[in-house]
Structure 1
Amino acid sequence: MRSIVDVSPVPRGACLGAASAKEQQTPDTSDRLDVTVNCRFVNLVSQEGDFVDDRLAERVAAAMWAEDAASVGLGMRIVDVGAGRATVEMTIRDDMVNGHGMAHGGFVFALADSAFSFACNSGNVTTVAQACDIVFVAPAQRGDVLVAEAVGRASYGRNGIYDVTVRCGDQLIAEFRGRSRQIGGTIVEEHA
């Protein structure tokens, strides 16, 4: 049976408390194994020197998602994934707001980190973060739908650099830079 991760679109510009009760619920994804997304082809070279296409990136994301209790528990949704890139979104819930009444920066970081993770693993070589930093540009508010877009910028040896932009509609919320390190092994069987 083929299951689908919730990738339904959330209206852009849904900022400052526009989340519905449905958006704030954590979906049951225990039986979800596949990700269906809209993708465009981007060339990426795997460890073996082969071109990686978006279908492989989708399979990798689906396998990772099935084990990603943190992203699922925070209500994140994969919007798009492809070779060297990923877009993930999350609605700021009541339990994600700090003492100033705005989104806690740790949750914004977690969203950016998850997008980074799906992007840097899209080539099907097990890859982890070796360093990350974030610049908070504007506060996010309760109910805001944040969208994190991760893009690979450079790779050298087993290392990579990825930039993640976090937005709420057209408003820039944060810029994140992640440095990745391939540790070997694969996430899915490539010829399945």
Structure 2
Amino acid sequence: MNVKATLSPDDLARACAEAMWKEDDASRGLGMEIAEIKAGQATLTMTVKPEMANGHGIAHGGFIFTLADSAFAFACNSRNERVVAAQGSITFLRPGKLGDRLVATAREISRSGRSGIYDVRVTAGDVVIAEFRGHSRVIGGPWLPTGETGTK
């Protein structure tokens, strides 16, 4: 049975995210949460904790990048193919502050063959604090075994 044929694209994306989340110690360890998953899209959240603040007392850019990168990862792994980042860049627009609940929303811009491009917007409330662009590469292998439907 073909997994893609038995699930809607969004249900497949959620099943892949569930499988990936179980193996993602980094995102879980930083307190990230999955807010929404759809085919080619993902929204993750993270609250800025004291250990995430830099010497200026604001969110360290590395943590903001990591949140954006995780949202990117869940968006590009939503089609039951294992995908990794080939390149990622971020532009910081405003600082994240201690206690901010950051929201990273990733969306697929282009996917062709084994390559994809994804944009991620990171916000704190109504304020855009960063824009990330990631390039992905399919490395092969499914998240869900052949025949698994992801439903119970």
Amino acid at match of 1:129: A
Q: Do residues 142 (structure 1) and 98 (structure 2) align?
A: yes
1:104 deviates by 0.1
Over the residues paired in the alignment, what is the CA RMSD in angstroms? 1.6
Report the counterpart of residue 118 of structure 1 in structure 2.
Answer: 74
Which is worse superposed, 48-57 or 120-129?
48-57
Q: CA–CA distance in 2 between the matches of 1:52 and 1:127?
A: 20
Report the counterpart of residue 28 of structure 2 in structure 1.
Answer: 72
Describe how 1:30-45 pairs up with structure 2 within 5 A. none
TM-score scaled by length of structure 2: 0.91
1:56 deviates by 0.8
1:189 deviates by 2.2
Q: CA–CA distance in 2 between the matches of 1:93 and 1:107?
A: 10
Q: Structure 1 unaligned runs (5+)?
A: 1-47
Q: CA–CA distance in 2 between the matches of 1:164 and 1:92?
A: 18
Q: Structure 2 unaligned runs (5+)?
A: none
Judged with a 3 Å threshold, the aligned counterparts in structure 2 of structure 1 residues 50 and 131 are, in CA distance, closer, same or farther, namely farther
Q: Do residues 58 (structure 1) and 18 (structure 2) align?
A: no
Q: Deviations over 1:65-121 (max 9, x none)?
A: 111110001000000001000000000000000000000000000000000000000
Describe how 1:155-170 pairs up with structure 2 within 5 A. 155-170=111-126
Question: Between Structure 1 and Structure 2, which shows a larger proportion of helix residues?
Answer: 2
- Which is bigger in relative contact order (C-alpha 8 A, separation at least 6)? 2
Match of 2:58 among 102, 111, 123: 102
Question: Between Structure 1 and Structure 2, which shows a larger proportion of strand residues?
Answer: 2
Match of 2:127 among 163, 171, 177: 171
| SS, match of residue 176 in structure 1 | strand
Q: Which ranges of 4 or more aligned residues in structure 1 deviate by more than 6 Å?
A: 48-51
Q: Deviations over 1:27-69 (max 9, x none)?
A: xxxxxxxxxxxxxxxxxxxxx8998511111111011111111
Q: CA–CA distance in 2 between the matches of 1:49 and 1:75?
A: 34
Q: CA–CA distance in 2 between the matches of 1:138 and 1:163?
A: 18
Aligned length: 145
Judged with a 3 Å threshold, the aligned counterparts in structure 2 of structure 1 residues 49 and 178 are, in CA distance, closer, same or farther, namely farther
